[in-house]
């Protein structure tokens, strides 16, 4: 490979060590593109427990890139779902997205694409801080790094064709979106509690249908939910009540 | 203006009514670009109370576009803050973003850029559903519409130079990021409660400093917080405890 030199300000400036060459290769395999600024990728895979404190008192670890990558990933997945399900409402899209972008699935994805072996952290951890999310967090940071290094178009491609496309079956996921009403009814039955849903306000005017439903458990009023149909108001009330009961 | 015709499939196809021409103009003034697909923009400004139900049983209103625009706005603001504050941690960036992108500020922005007058909804509302967020929601939907109609680069420019840049002073906002510890101490003093912070676990190993702080109010244990300094662990514990007390 002839390009062991990197041009900077017109000078051949830097001779890569074989360890560095190896790192370029590994990130290229994962992202599909040779890194321009390898430092971004190294930062994206460095947990704070393995980071030095820099001259600004900041640890040179992945948190800031994770913040950026999280926003990029959320946006691209939002667009994918928006386009894939043109006749589904935003509640459905939001729920589906949270099934795709959550700690567990990001951890799994990170392992699947081979990022796990590149993540650096110190295991002993101290103070009981969990390292459970370190791979998923690093994946988000990698997305942030890729965006800064390769731009929007390429990071979108990466997310669509390397991360999400091959690893999620939207149809399958769509089948299992939560039915909150069933969920709270099941819970109440298991706990031997009486549960009912009441429509406490409604407007059936065709142009402006709106309903408020409320959940009652053993005659105690729980949360209210809104919706443009009774069904939706009940789903909303059930979801909020599950949260109130810490069951969500 | 000669272009009252729109070319489609090689045919001059459509003669705009003066009302439609007016709408193109108004959206051009707001977004800086003449709409290609005006239907997107009309949808973005149509609350469900003013929407017809289409053949798929969906209301032709802004909710789906709002879902998309919300994600785009969040991402662009994340990037703006990431670049503007290179030495700030992700907690700071997250908090600053939520000051910029929240219901109240989006409502205000919507009015400032003149979107308010274009938003369509029915006032009587029924069922007690608030229309308070309709302008901000519609602004998010407009961002979604602009993204679909004009692409990423232009919608990014729009957000940076028309929405956020002229209307927010990052420096001022940064000065007022919340000090959660002060906030909970103030609250405790007002309520005549004893409050203390305890470091319940720590690792002062230079390479892996980590702390857990816990808030006690009248000797009752509230939430724990984590951090790589005592100060941060306390802030985290204070923030979580404020949430627990429904003060956040």
- Between CA B247 and CA B233 the distance in angstroms is 19
A152 has a pLDDT exceeding 80: yes
A63 token code pair: 């948190």
Which pLDDT band, with edges at 50, 70 and 90, does B141 fall under?
very high
pLDDT at B3: 45
Q: Which residue of A has its CA nearest to B211?
A: A127
Measured between beta carbons, which residues in chain B are less than 8 angstroms from residue A75? 71-72, 74-75
pLDDT at A243: 86
A66 is known to lie in a ligand binding site = yes
B92 phi/psi in degrees, rounded to 5:
-65, -45
Q: Domain limits of chain B? A: 16-176, 179-245
Q: Please indicate whether residue A140 is annotated as part of the active site.
A: yes
A191 is known to lie in a ligand binding site = no
Lowest mean pLDDT segment, chosen from A82-96, A130-144, A227-241, B9-23: B9-23
Which pLDDT band, with edges at 50, 70 and 90, does A129 fall under?
very low
Which pLDDT band, with edges at 50, 70 and 90, does B56 fall under?
low
Encode pLDDT of A190-237 as tens digits: 888 889 999 888 877 655 667 889 999 998 999 998 887 788 888 889
- Work out the percent of chain B whose per-residue pLDDT is above 70: 85
Measured between beta carbons, which residues in chain B are less than 8 angstroms from residue A79? 68, 71, 147
Which is nearest to A165 in space by CA: A120, A113, A208? A113
B140 is known to lie in a ligand binding site = yes
A34-43, A87-96, B2-11, B166-175: which has the highest mean pLDDT? A34-43
Which pLDDT band, with edges at 50, 70 and 90, does B7 fall under?
low
pLDDT at A173: 87
The mean pLDDT value of chain B amounts to: 85
**Contact of B222 with B214, CB cutoff 8 Å:** yes
Contact between chains at B67 and A78 (C-beta distance less than 8 A)? yes
A56 has a pLDDT exceeding 70: no
Measured between beta carbons, which residues in chain A are less than 8 angstroms from residue B78? 67-68, 70-72
pLDDT at B185: 83
Q: How far is B206 from chain A (nearest CA, A)?
A: 10
Out of B90, B127, B208, name the one closest to residue A124 (CB): B208
Bridge partner list, A220: A217
SS (H, E, C) chain B: CCCCEEEECCEEEEECCHHHHHHHHHHHHHHCCCCCCHHHHHHHCECHHHCCECCCCCECCCHHHHHHHHHHHHHHHHHHHHHHCCCCCHHHHHHHHHHHCCHHHHHHHHHHCCCHHHCECCCCCCCCCCCCCHHHHHHHHHHHHHHHHHHHHHHHHHHHHHHHCCCCCHHHHHHCCCCHHHHHHHHHHHCCCCEEEEEEEEECCHHHCEEEEEEEECCEEEEEEEECCHHHHHHHHHHHHHHHCCCC
DSSP string, A47-82: -GGGPPB-TTS-B-STHHHHHHHHHHHHHHHHHHHH
Q: Which residue of B has its CA nearest to A69?
A: B75
The residue annotated as part of the active site, out of B42, B95, B140, B236, is B140
pLDDT: is B31 or B242 the higher one?
B31
**Contact of B100 with B173, CB cutoff 8 Å:** yes
Encode pLDDT of B63-78 as tens digits: 999 999 999 999 999 9
Contact between chains at B71 and A79 (C-beta distance less than 8 A)? yes
Contact between chains at B207 and A128 (C-beta distance less than 8 A)? no
Encode pLDDT of A3-53 as tens digits: 445 555 545 555 667 788 889 999 999 999 999 999 999 999 998 888 877
Which pLDDT band, with edges at 50, 70 and 90, does B124 fall under?
low
pLDDT at B140: 97
Q: Please indicate whether residue A70 is annotated as part of the active site.
A: yes
pLDDT at A144: 98
Encode pLDDT of B156-166 as tens digits: 999 999 999 99
DSSP string, A97-143: HHHHSSHHHHHHHHHHTT-GGG-B--TT-STT---TTHHHHHHHHHH
Bridge partner list, A5: A15
pLDDT: is A137 or A131 the higher one?
A137
The mean pLDDT value of chain A amounts to: 85
pLDDT at B126: 47
Task: Name which of B75, B82, B140, B227 to mutate to probe chain A: the one with the most chain A Cβ atoms within 10 A of its Cβ.
Answer: B75
- Between CA B178 and CA B182 the distance in angstroms is 9
Lowest mean pLDDT segment, chosen from A66-70, B19-23, B106-110: B19-23
CATH 3.20.20.140 applies to domain A16-176: no
B220 phi/psi in degrees, rounded to 5:
-90, 130
The residue annotated as part of the active site, out of B42, B55, B60, B70, is B70
The ipTM, to two decimals, is 0.72
Contact between chains at B201 and A56 (C-beta distance less than 8 A)? no
Contact between chains at B72 and A72 (C-beta distance less than 8 A)? no
Measured between beta carbons, which residues in chain B are less than 8 angstroms from residue A201? 127-128
A179-245 matches A16-176 in CATH topology: no
B128 has a pLDDT exceeding 50: no
Which pLDDT band, with edges at 50, 70 and 90, does A183 fall under?
confident
pLDDT: is A139 or B12 the higher one?
A139
DSSP string, A166-214: TT--HHHHHHT---HHHHHHHHHHHTT--EEEEEEEEE--GGG-EEEEE
Q: How far is B198 from chain A (nearest CA, A)?
A: 14
Measured between beta carbons, which residues in chain B are less than 8 angstroms from residue A96? none
A100 has a pLDDT exceeding 50: yes
Q: How far is B88 from chain A (nearest CA, A)?
A: 8
Which pLDDT band, with edges at 50, 70 and 90, does B189 fall under?
confident
- Between CA B238 and CA B81 the distance in angstroms is 24
Which pLDDT band, with edges at 50, 70 and 90, does B15 fall under?
low
pLDDT: is A229 or B109 the higher one?
B109
* Other CB atoms within 10 A of residue B36 CB: 12
* Other CB atoms within 10 A of residue B76 CB: 24
Give the burial class of A105: count Cβ atoms within 10 A of its Cβ; 0-12 exposed, 13-18 middle, 19 or more buried: middle
pLDDT at A57: 65
**Contact of A242 with A186, CB cutoff 8 Å:** no
Mutual orientation of helices B63-84 and B90-100 as an angle, nearest 10°? 130
Task: Name which of A40, A43, A67 to mutate to probe chain B: the one with the most chain B Cβ atoms within 10 A of its Cβ.
Answer: A67
Q: What would the mean pLDDT of B30-38 be, rounded to a whole number?
A: 95
B206 has a pLDDT exceeding 90: no
- Between CA B115 and CA B109 the distance in angstroms is 9
Out of 3.40.50.12780, 3.50.50.60, 3.40.710.10, 3.30.160.20, the CATH code matching B179-245 is 3.30.160.20
């Amino acid at each position: 490979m002839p390009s062991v030199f990197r041009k900077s300000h017109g000078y051949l400036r830097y001779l890569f060590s074989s360890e560095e060459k190896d790192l370029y290769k590994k990130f290229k395999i994962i992202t599909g593109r040779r890194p321009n600024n390898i430092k971004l990728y190294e930062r994206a895979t460095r947990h704070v427990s393995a980071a030095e404190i820099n001259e600004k008192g900041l640890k040179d670890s992945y948190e800031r890139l994770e913040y950026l990558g999280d926003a990029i990933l959320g946006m691209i997945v939002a667009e994918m779902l928006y386009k894939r399900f043109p006749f589904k409402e935003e509640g459905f899209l939001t729920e589906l997205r949270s099934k795709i972008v959550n700690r567990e699935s990001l951890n799994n994805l990170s392992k699947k694409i081979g990022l796990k072996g590149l993540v650096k952290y110190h295991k002993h951890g101290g103070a009981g801080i969990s390292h459970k999310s370190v791979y998923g967090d690093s994946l988000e940071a990698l997305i942030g790094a890729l965006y800064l290094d390769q731009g929007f178009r390429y990071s979108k491609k990466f997310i669509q064709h390397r991360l999400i496309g091959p690893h999620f079956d939207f149809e399958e996921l769509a089948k299992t979106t939560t039915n909150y009403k069933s969920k709270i009814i099941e819970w109440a039955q298991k706990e031997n509690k009486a549960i009912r849903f009441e429509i406490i306000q409604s407007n059936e005017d065709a142009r402006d249908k709106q309903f408020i439903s409320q959940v009652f458990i053993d005659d105690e009023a729980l949360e209210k939910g809104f919706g443009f149909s009774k069904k939706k108001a009940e789903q909303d009330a059930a979801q909020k009540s599950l949260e109130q009961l810490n069951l969500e």
